[in-house]
Amino acid sequence: MLGKGVVGGGGGTKAPKPSFVSYVRPEEIHTNEKEVTEKEVTLHLLPGEQLLCEASTVLKYVQEDSCQHGVYGRLVCTDFKIAFLGDDESALDNDETQFKNKVIGENDITLHCVDQIYGVFDEKKKTLFGQLKKYPEKLIIHCKDLRVFHFCLRYTKEEEVKRIVSGIIHHTQAPKLLKRLFLFSYATATQNNTAADPKNHTVMFDTLKDWCWELERTKGNMKYKAVSVNEGYKVCERLPAYFVVPTPLAEEDVQRFQGHGIPIWCWSCHNGSALLKMSALPKEQDDGILQIQKSFLDGIYKTIHRPPYEIVKTEDLSGNFLSLQEIQTAYSKFKQLFLIDNSTEFWDTDIKWFSLLESSSWLDIIRRCLKKAIEITECMEAQNMNILLLEENASDLCCLISSLVQVMMDPHCRTRIGFQSLVQKEWVMGGHCFLDRCNHLRQSDKEEVPVFQLFLDCVWQLVHQHPPAFEFTETYLTVLSDSLYIPIFSTFFFNSPHQKDTNVHQRQLSLPLTQSKSSPKRGFFREETDHLIKNLLGKRISKLINSSDELQDNFREFYDSWHSKPTDYHGLLLPHIEGPEIRVWAQRYLRWIPEAQILGGGTVATMSKLLEMMEEVQSLQEKIDERHHSQEDPQAEPPCLLRNSARLSSLFPFALLQRHSSKPILPTSGWKALGDEEDLAKREDEFVDLGDV
């Protein structure tokens, strides 16, 4: 970055690593003589929120420069968040405060948002967990929204250090009971206000009516019916109380294997083909039971293979597609790129940015998901097939792929309400285990897989490539991803609708802590499909399953031909999936890194110009209307949102403006010439001599 360090005679001049230990600590130099201010900032508590512990004279580092500045203040921990109350809450200008998060302040970290906590002992960084013997002089908190906080505890009283550090570790790292989630105390405290916002038309899919409405909207009601067989979760706790199945399907079939092996309707396309999902039957060793399962499935497939149903193609998502393990590994590598402790580290990694990005495979995973969704879209749209998604519990990749397909095919899902309804339908009612996947209760790190985050990232790629096709912007998606860790909204804090209903309605009954999920062994599903489907379903299906090459070609043609036609934003929407087109969601991942922002530039500049022009059109139109109805009062000026866009950051509304000291300086240029280029590097620049002409 510009403006760091001093002008040096040599080439690269990044912020130098400390080569000797100074007796004067940098923070002692830069903190304005420990100017502890009188104006205490008051802690803002939500209804039902309780203060647990606190420490004063904590120094929070501000990483603006290579030299570290700090702000003194109070570090507190409540049953909802960790908050730092600095003395330096300088007033921000209007544009910025206008877009502030109303629940979470700049220095607030909800307990669920904490990812890792490190302590610094004698310049060494260690992960903190459990009981501590020694307390660190510095606390580093990595958040799930990728913020990094550094708190220096050197000037804090020892007692307070002990209390705050062990408090924070306990409340963020130790396993928790579901009933201890803050949302319950919040709900109790705000009971009067819990009436649903009447303006909010998000369909919740918790009534039979909602499903019927969705069937009607997608014209799926000819061949599919909403059933209430699981009312009161009599059949199965994994499924929602109401869902949709093929009309001829008998209700006893649903009960037979507690909802397993049942094709459940997700969505119908305008041409009648439908997207279905199915969770696998439990794995059995016993031949007799296997035989029963076989004949059961046979019956099911017979039902959906007959007209009026289209040809079914089965997509096995737990077999040869993506594994949750892969997603987990990729994301944990990927996020390290953004969890930067200081700017030296940033510049060190910046040189290798593209290869680091690549080695995380996160972008490739996004590409594979988008590709899979396009393949399915092609089958439904062009070949008029039904697609049956298969997965162990039908609650991870099923949710992801089916909702991605709907975003691409159904313009309704690209409105804000439509998108929210989709999340409600496929993820919340689809039984995605948010509690486990986000590890909200800190019960098992293994189960923590950012499937929903992956979905949002896929949608972001679409939003980024086709902004006019969406009612919402990337900021909406970013805020949505943040709300995953704010335990005020119950949406993302349960494993299933059953769990939510039992906890929200009968809170007084303390539930036995459900470690619930019996997780069968991996790989089971692949074997089963290979075995069962090929044998049971005859040629019709196996032909389709084995013809992946042929499909590849169909896919290409479909993809190319869509992209060669003008886009109809009200219709089918496909993303570009060539390598260069899959991008990093900067607003989500890079927003806290000041080095990465462009002042007065980026897409924000485009957007604000666009807004300006829309206002202009609007006001001109109003002027014309005025002419026609001169008796009406002239309209007031429309409010303008981003007037002084010139100085907005490219990561607006998240990154705060950072002023850099601005001596000219070259940024890091630490790379070496590539080996085979050395010859070239040594060669003289050529010069066309005039004599030659």
Partner 1 sequence: RIHVEQVKLLDRFSTSNKSLTGTLYLTATHLLFIDSHQKETWILHHHIASVEKLALTTSGCPLVIQCKNFRIVHFIVPRERDCHDIYNSLLQLSKQAKYEDLYAFSYNPKQNDSERLQGWQVIDLAEEYKRMGVPNSHWQLSDANREYKICETYPRELYVPQIASKPIIVGSSKFRSKGRFPVLSYYHQDKEAAICRCSQPLSGFSARCLEDEHLLQAISKANPVNRYMYVMDTRPKLNAMANRAAGKGYENEDNYSNIRFQFVGIENIHVMRSSLQKLLEVSGTKGLSVNDFYSGLESSGWLRHIKAVMDAAIFLAKAIMVENASVLVHCSDGWDRTSQVCSLGSLLLDSYYRTIKGFMLVLSGGVRCGHLDGDPKEVSPVFTQFLECVWHLTEQFPQAFEFNEEFLLQIHEHIHSCQFGNFLGNCQKEREELKLKEKTYSLWPFLLEDQKKYINPLYSFKSQRFTVLEPNTVSFNFKFWRNMYHQFDRTLHPRQSVFNIIMNMNEQNKQLQKDIQDLESKIKQRKNKQTDGVLTKELLHSVCPESPTLKTSLRFKEQTLLPVNDALRTIEGSSPADNRYSEYAEEFSKPEPAVVSLEYGVARMTC
Write the CA distances from 421 to 196, 402, 549, integer angstroms: 15, 13, 36
From 50-58, 175-183, 255-263, 638-646, span contacting partner 1 (CB under 8 A): 638-646
Q: Give least dist CB 312 to partner 1, A.
A: 27
* Shorter beta-carbon distance to partner 1: residue 247 or 554: 554
Is residue 404 within 8 Å of residue 455, measured between CB atoms? yes
Site for partner 1 in 271-300 (CB under 8 A): none
Site for partner 1 in 530-569 (CB under 8 A): 552-553, 556, 560, 563-569
Q: Give least dist CB 353 to partner 1, A.
A: 4
* Shorter beta-carbon distance to partner 1: residue 286 or 686: 686
Q: Which of 517, 595, 656, 657 touches partner 1 (CB under 8 A)?
A: 595
Q: Give least dist CB 204 to partner 1, A.
A: 19
- Taking the C-alpha atoms of residue 578 and residue 632, their distance in angstroms, rounded to an integer, is 54
Site for partner 1 in 415-444 (CB under 8 A): 415, 418
* Shorter beta-carbon distance to partner 1: residue 538 or 579: 579
Q: Give least dist CB 572 to partner 1, A.
A: 13
Q: Any contact of residue 686 with partner 1 (CB under 8 A)? A: yes
Q: Any contact of residue 685 with partner 1 (CB under 8 A)? A: yes
* Shorter beta-carbon distance to partner 1: residue 174 or 613: 613
Q: Any contact of residue 469 with partner 1 (CB under 8 A)? A: yes
Is residue 655 within 8 Å of residue 592, measured between CB atoms? yes
Q: Any contact of residue 9 with partner 1 (CB under 8 A)? A: yes
From 65-73, 86-94, 385-393, 592-600, span contacting partner 1 (CB under 8 A): 592-600
Q: Any contact of residue 578 with partner 1 (CB under 8 A)? A: yes
Q: DSSP letters along 343-354, please?
A: HHHHHHHHTTHH
* Shorter beta-carbon distance to partner 1: residue 254 or 366: 366
From 90-98, 460-468, 523-531, 536-544, span contacting partner 1 (CB under 8 A): 460-468
Q: Any contact of residue 199 with partner 1 (CB under 8 A)? A: no
- Taking the C-alpha atoms of residue 693 and residue 687, their distance in angstroms, rounded to an integer, is 12
Q: Give least dist CB 9 to partner 1, A.
A: 7
Spacing of C-alpha 572 from chain mean position: 24
Residues ≥6 apart with Cβ < 8 Å to 692: none
- Taking the C-alpha atoms of residue 655 and residue 592, their distance in angstroms, rounded to an integer, is 6
Q: Describe the crossing of helices 362-381 and 324-336 by its angle, rounded to 10 degrees.
A: 130
Q: Give least dist CB 212 to partner 1, A.
A: 21
What tokens were used for 633?
């009062």
Give the alpha-carbon dihedral of 146, 332, 174, 590, to 10 degrees. 0
For the chain, what's the residue count?
Answer: 693
Is residue 528 within 8 Å of residue 283, measured between CB atoms? yes
What tokens were used for 410?
């159904």
Q: Which of 628, 637, 639, 675 touches partner 1 (CB under 8 A)?
A: 628
* Shorter beta-carbon distance to partner 1: residue 353 or 489: 353
Q: Which of 42, 539, 662, 675 touches partner 1 (CB under 8 A)?
A: 662
* Shorter beta-carbon distance to partner 1: residue 6 or 21: 6
Residues ≥6 apart with Cβ < 8 Å to 566: none
- Taking the C-alpha atoms of residue 403 and residue 459, their distance in angstroms, rounded to an integer, is 10
Decide the pairing of beta strands 264-268 and 108-110: unpaired
Q: Give least dist CB 145 to partner 1, A.
A: 18
Q: Give least dist CB 228 to partner 1, A.
A: 31
* Shorter beta-carbon distance to partner 1: residue 324 or 593: 593
Residues ≥6 apart with Cβ < 8 Å to 230: 236, 239, 240, 241, 242, 243, 254, 259
- Taking the C-alpha atoms of residue 49 and residue 80, their distance in angstroms, rounded to an integer, is 6
From 2-10, 39-47, 179-187, 388-396, span contacting partner 1 (CB under 8 A): 2-10
From 54-62, 90-98, 411-419, 510-518, span contacting partner 1 (CB under 8 A): 411-419
Q: Which of 414, 432, 437, 464 touches partner 1 (CB under 8 A)?
A: 414
Write the CA distances from 363 to 262, 271, 623, 677, integer angstroms: 33, 33, 48, 30
Q: Give least dist CB 590 to partner 1, A.
A: 6
Q: Any contact of residue 606 with partner 1 (CB under 8 A)? A: yes
Q: Give least dist CB 478 to partner 1, A.
A: 13
Is residue 178 within 8 Å of residue 68, measured between CB atoms? no
Q: Which of 116, 576, 656, 657 touches partner 1 (CB under 8 A)?
A: 576
Q: Which of 17, 234, 522, 663 touches partner 1 (CB under 8 A)?
A: 663
Show the CA angle centred on residue 455, arms to residues 453 and 460, nearest 5°. Answer: 95
* Shorter beta-carbon distance to partner 1: residue 177 or 673: 673
Up-side HSE of residue 355: CA atoms within 13 Å toward CB?
4
Q: Give least dist CB 423 to partner 1, A.
A: 17
Site for partner 1 in 53-112 (CB under 8 A): none
Q: Give least dist CB 491 to partner 1, A.
A: 22
Site for partner 1 in 305-344 (CB under 8 A): none
Q: Which of 309, 472, 558, 585 touches partner 1 (CB under 8 A)?
A: 472
From 72-80, 133-141, 251-259, 677-685, span contacting partner 1 (CB under 8 A): 677-685
* Shorter beta-carbon distance to partner 1: residue 23 or 671: 671
Is residue 441 within 8 Å of residue 466, measured between CB atoms? no
- Taking the C-alpha atoms of residue 529 and residue 13, their distance in angstroms, rounded to an integer, is 59
With CB under 8 A, what is the number of residues at the site for partner 1?
110
What tokens were used for 625?
């209307």
Q: Which of 30, 126, 162, 412 touches partner 1 (CB under 8 A)?
A: 412
What tokens were used for 96?
């910025």
Q: Which of 116, 247, 383, 473 touches partner 1 (CB under 8 A)?
A: 473
Site for partner 1 in 200-239 (CB under 8 A): none
Q: Any contact of residue 166 with partner 1 (CB under 8 A)? A: no
Three-state SS string over 219-280 comes to CCCCCEEEECCCHHHCCCCCCCCCEEEECCCCHHHHHHCCCCCCCEEEEECCCCCEEEEEEC
Residue 114 region by backbone torsions, left for phi larger than 0, else alpha for psi between -120 and 50, else beta: beta
Q: Which of 47, 272, 282, 467 touches partner 1 (CB under 8 A)?
A: 467
Alpha helix ranges (H) inside 89-229 = 94-98, 158-173, 182-189, 208-217
Q: Any contact of residue 445 with partner 1 (CB under 8 A)? A: no
Write the CA distances from 529 to 281, 330, 398, 536, integer angstroms: 10, 27, 16, 10
Residues ≥6 apart with Cβ < 8 Å to 553: none
Site for partner 1 in 339-398 (CB under 8 A): 350-355, 357-358, 361, 363-364, 366-367
* Shorter beta-carbon distance to partner 1: residue 26 or 602: 602
Q: Which of 590, 591, 592, 654 touches partner 1 (CB under 8 A)?
A: 590
Q: Which of 512, 627, 634, 659 touches partner 1 (CB under 8 A)?
A: 627
Q: Any contact of residue 471 with partner 1 (CB under 8 A)? A: yes
